Amino acid sequence: MMRIALALLFCLLAGTATAGPWPRAPGGVFASLSREIRSGDDWDALYVEYGWNERMTFVLDAGRSQNGGWIAILSTRIPLWTLGRHHFAVSVGGGKEHVVYPGLSDDIDPNALLHYGMTPGDYMLMQYGASWGMGFDSRFGSGWATLDGTLRKSSIGNREERKLDATLGVNLSDSNTLFSQAQYSWTKYSEGQLRLGLGWVRHFGPLAIEAGIGKRLRLDRETDAKIGLWLTF
């Protein structure tokens, strides 16, 4: 039962997105609304970027599980420097997480839950991030690669999560984009989880439709499907 609960923990913590080091143009907005379909616990996500000025982009990253858990993080992304095609940025922010564990039974020792940082309830979080990204040209079209590292830590208790996300994408045409992702996350007292994903985006001017599939390679080893809408203006 503890193993099931840890799998649910990764579902809650690893359901949000990263977007690389590039700043959003001042006044520009990017918004994504998506659903990740999982075995018994779908995840709805909202991701919004707003370009405050040339040096500051505000990011809202939020999600909610079918079982009632949710998380919302507001952060600021600041570019550090650019070396040729290589871009670097850092981010800092905070928010709140509501934790539920529907897979737990009453016979589990509460002290064990506390040790694993798994006590249900509300937690205030701090988030720190660092990003690298580069653009490139290929025989298939222009593309990009990013690497994002994130640390989330609660103000009380033992809850701590670290994530490393790698993305490789190619614009096959003006209206079609293909990308792949590798996402690794681990908490302070449990095994890491690795997810590999493949996504496709169809653009219709400022609106786009996203579809994708993913596979977790550790713990629950489940397969998921994702569908979403992107809006840029």
What pLDDT sits at residue 126?
95
Name the residue among 208, 207, 184 with its Cα closest to residue 194: 184
SS3 sequence, the chain? CHHHHHHHHHHHHCCCCCCCCCCCCCCCEEEEEEEEECCCCCEEEEEEEEEEECCEEEEEEEEEECCCCEEEEEEEEEEEEEECCEEEEEEEEEEEEEECCCCCCCCCCHHHHHHCCCCCEEEEEEEEEEEEEEEEEECCEEEEEEEEEEEEEECCCCCEEEEEEEEEEEECCCCEEEEEEEEEEEECCCCCEEEEEEEEEEEECCEEEEEEEEEECCCCCCEEEEEEEEEEC
Percent of the chain with pLDDT over 70: 81
- In which region does residue 227 sit, left (phi positive, over 0), alpha (psi from -120 to 50) or beta (all else)? beta
Could you state, in order of their start, the residue ranges of all structural domains in the chain? 2-232
- Go through the chain and tell me how many residues it has: 233
- Among the ranges given (6-15, 148-157, 183-192), the one the predictor scored with the smallest mean pLDDT: 6-15
Superfamily of domain 2-232: monomeric porin ompg (2.40.160.40)
Q: How far apart are the first and last CA of the chain?
A: 46
**Residue 80 CA from chain centroid, whole number:** 21
Please, which pLDDT band fits residue 8 given cuts at 50, 70 and 90? very low
Dihedral angle at the C-alpha atoms of 79, 187, 214, 231, nearest 10 degrees? -40
C-beta of residue 61 within 8 angstroms of C-beta of residue 32: no
Percent of the chain with pLDDT over 90: 66
What pLDDT sits at residue 192?
84
Taking only the tens place, the pLDDT of each residue in 123-132 is 899 999 999 9
C-beta of residue 199 within 8 angstroms of C-beta of residue 214: no
Q: What is the mean pLDDT of the chain?
A: 85
CA-to-CA distance for 28 and 46, rounded, in angstroms?
17
Residue the block writes with tokens 């993913």: 214
